[in-house]
Structure 1
């Protein structure tokens, strides 16, 4: 009769299935690792590119400042506007020689303001003009343009591996006039700066090492927090399971205590009567005692079956027989209290349920009805078919003082009796709910209470 009572195994099974279906720690470990690696790798890539770009730009700026100092020292800017003149030949050749002697330079081109090559380390390029060169256009606009690549092939010239190094920089450096207002030419230089690339590589390595250590530290910290959180949740879950188990034990104990009160009361009454009755009356009392003991034994057996999870399979139940058995059980108690117990059964189809459990639900209602009429009254029991034709009705109507709101709402452990447990109606509702039935209560103060049990018919 543990209908509706919590069973400790329920939460444990659900928790086990939840862990099997979704392992929080495993998913956190995988997703956090992926996020940390993606974030760390992205950060390292951005910082590496920024570092490389900044160092290349700074190297090109130093070269541009050096060239501008040569132009100012030799006052070469005046000859860029008329490079074909005889007077410009020597100053420009001096400037070209300085360009060719820049540290690390392996190729060099000098452009006029119109984009024409004035001089080149490759004589074949002198006099040519490049209109589709974006870097040259940027330099003519006053901006330094620099990029890096690998030997042997560049955009415009082929570099020789034997020149030294395997990576080059190509820089377009603007040459300004005396007032630094107008670009009068552009110097394009190809360099193999091994020292610069070694410094860049060292910086990039440090960026990646720092990013790797940061990723490792962050992942270890997050995973450590996840482990600690999982351990805390496991302890809390275990505490919940223990609390549920204790609650279930308390509910079972309460159900047992409530369930055996009525049979024990009948046994005691029969024993008291047997002491004063004649032989025939004593035999009747002893038969009542045996019947109540058998009923109590069957109820406890069903309770133990449900405690082990072995639910009793519903079958076809003769509700008239169940009602008659309960009426017979409480006949003596009703008579002693001056309650007229009247039984009126009708021809009804069998209900779907379990006779022992339904008998317990009826006993709870009858016990409450009789106790609600301490000064006597009438208790009417009847059966019938519900208006929809798919349910059987059992009606228990008394002429007592009515039910308080707490009992009508089904609050557990609410009782108006000095020694009541407050579980009768709650257990009755749970028993009926397990059988797809329902309990309807109609009560008015001073008039009485009408309880209607509705059960589905067999095959309905």
Structure 2
């Protein structure tokens, strides 16, 4: 049979086997970096391509305006005619003066170089020039690269000519009607200013995508970290509920056997009080009162174990503190603990006095036991900031809570006592939470512990 503590250990062991936050941090970082880098590369290439194509389109419009002004179409129809010589010279004079141009070629429709700034290329054909074939089909073609990376028809360009990167544009030339491609103008440029502008834009793209990726990763990491915390809390609550359900089954049997003897004790005390003896009457009255309190505590324990609601109502925090101090005065005195009650001016709180007393008694007894050599125990009430809650503080001068309880609330089955069950603080927390309150600790090694119950003010 698997007991509640076994369930708790199995659950925590399983949680340690898979660290959600660690795996998410690694996999999401890899995915965000890959996605961001890929996006930046694609956007960078698209930006570079669009900028160069836009610049080539401007050059094509410039060439076309020159052709319309000089009426150069005849050169492409009959390049050997004398009538074409003057327009030809004028045309290439304008082309050679375009910004950044270091070389130009003119091709006929069969791929022959009709004119070139390099006379050695005139009359040659380059059959493997795919860019030229695309341009002859009417499309502006742009290429770029580092100086020194050239094809067969390229000339060797030196960085000293104006830059380290070149731009090569194939510009289709159409007839006067604009219906047919009659040639191609190939222009080589070293537009260093254009490439510097592209580089600035690329840096901006990388910076924006980098910042966006970092913000996305941070947001996702924060969400998962919070989800992990919530899941861990819910898992502990689930384990606690399972364990308390098992305890509830046992408590039902124990309570059934315990409440019958309590009823007999109380009945015997009532019968004995019929005899006239004042001192004995006082002792019997104490027996009856404590029997009633024990019966109420067993009933509330059953309700908590079964997760049934305890009847609500209002409670006087000062009376709770004073009653608890009075009930435990003898125990505290035997242990050399001085109890100082400091009631404040506070309104009634939401809660059932019969249920809140065991919760407060647990804290008071724990505080007394934390001072085996004596000390000071302060029980005080005060209105919390905002006036919406009342705080009941149990402050001892003991050794402080162990590191296991420094952060967070007490865990089920965890106890620092040799024979402790770890149920006291858990049940205290559940009782307080049942009335919409909270339980927290302020502690440190060697400076005592403050157990603080915060309860909402009764409506």
TM range, smaller chain: 0.5 to 0.7
What is the aligned counterpart of 2:189 among 182, 188, 191? 191
Question: Does the 8 A contact of 1:96 with 1:119 survive in 2?
Answer: no
Q: TM-score, normalised by structure 1?
A: 0.53
Tell me the secondary structure at the aligned position of residue 131 of structure 1. Answer: coil
Equivalent residue number for residue 76 of structure 2: 80
What is the aligned counterpart of 1:141 among 137, 150, 162? 137
Matches within 5 A, 1:385-424: none
What is the aligned counterpart of 1:221 among 219, 222, 227? 219
CA distance in 2, matches of 1:41, 1:9: 49
Matched, 1:98 2:94: yes
Equivalent residue number for residue 300 of structure 1: none
Q: Which shifted more, 235-244 or 148-157? A: 235-244
Q: Please, what is the CA RMSD of the aligned residues?
A: 1.9
Deviations 1:191-242 (A, max 9, x none): 1111111121111111111111110111111111101111111221222232
CA distance in 1, matches of 2:83, 2:142: 33
Equivalent residue number for residue 66 of structure 1: 62
Question: Does the 8 A contact of 2:142 with 2:169 survive in 1?
Answer: yes
Q: TM-score, normalised by structure 2?
A: 0.54
Deviations 1:134-181 (A, max 9, x none): 111111111001011001231132211111211111110011111111
Equivalent residue number for residue 245 of structure 1: 243
CA distance in 2, matches of 1:11, 1:159: 78
Between Structure 1 and Structure 2, whose CA radius of gyration is higher?
1
CA distance in 2, matches of 1:153, 1:41: 26
CA distance in 1, matches of 2:125, 2:171: 17
Equivalent residue number for residue 175 of structure 2: 177
What is the aligned counterpart of 2:205 among 204, 207, 217? 207
What is the aligned counterpart of 2:51 among 51, 55, 58? 55
Equivalent residue number for residue 309 of structure 2: none
Deviations 1:383-436 (A, max 9, x none): xxxxxxxxxxxxxxxxxxxxxxxxxxxxxxxxxxxxxxxxxxxxxxxxxxxxxx
Equivalent residue number for residue 303 of structure 1: none
Instruction: Give the Å deviation of 1:41.
Output: 1.7
Question: Does the 8 A contact of 2:11 with 2:239 survive in 1?
Answer: no
Matched, 1:109 2:109: no
Instruction: Give the Å deviation of 1:10.
Output: 2.2
Task: List alignment gaps of at least 5 residues for structure 1.
Answer: 262-460
Matches within 5 A, 1:2-17: 4=1, 7-17=3-13
Question: Does the 8 A contact of 1:108 with 1:120 survive in 2?
Answer: yes
CA distance in 2, matches of 1:231, 1:64: 63
Matched, 1:39 2:35: yes
Count of paired positions: 257
CA distance in 2, matches of 1:44, 1:98: 39
Instruction: Give the Å deviation of 1:256.
Output: 5.2
Instruction: Give the Å deviation of 1:60.
Output: 0.4
Q: Which shifted more, 235-244 or 165-174? A: 235-244
Instruction: Give the Å deviation of 1:258.
Output: 7.9
Matches within 5 A, 1:292-303: none
CA distance in 2, matches of 1:39, 1:81: 53
What is the aligned counterpart of 1:119 among 115, 118, 138? 115
Matched, 1:27 2:23: yes
CA distance in 2, matches of 1:41, 1:172: 32
Tell me the secondary structure at the aligned position of residue 184 of structure 1. Answer: strand
CA distance in 1, matches of 2:112, 2:141: 18
Instruction: Give the Å deviation of 1:115.
Output: 1.2
Question: Does the 8 A contact of 2:7 with 2:243 survive in 1?
Answer: no
CA distance in 2, matches of 1:119, 1:201: 34
CA distance in 1, matches of 2:115, 2:250: 104
Instruction: Give the Å deviation of 1:28.
Output: 1.2
Instruction: Give the Å deviation of 1:254.
Output: 4.0
CA distance in 2, matches of 1:41, 1:194: 26
Equivalent residue number for residue 374 of structure 2: none
Task: List alignment gaps of at least 5 residues for structure 2.
Answer: 260-459
Runs of 4+ in 1 over 6 A off after TM superposition: 257-261
Instruction: Give the Å deviation of 1:253.
Output: 3.0
Equivalent residue number for residue 230 of structure 1: 228
Tell me the secondary structure at the aligned position of residue 188 of structure 2. Answer: strand
Instruction: Give the Å deviation of 1:260.
Output: 10
CA distance in 1, matches of 2:221, 2:21: 8
Deviations 1:14-67 (A, max 9, x none): 222222221111111111222222222222111111111110110000000000
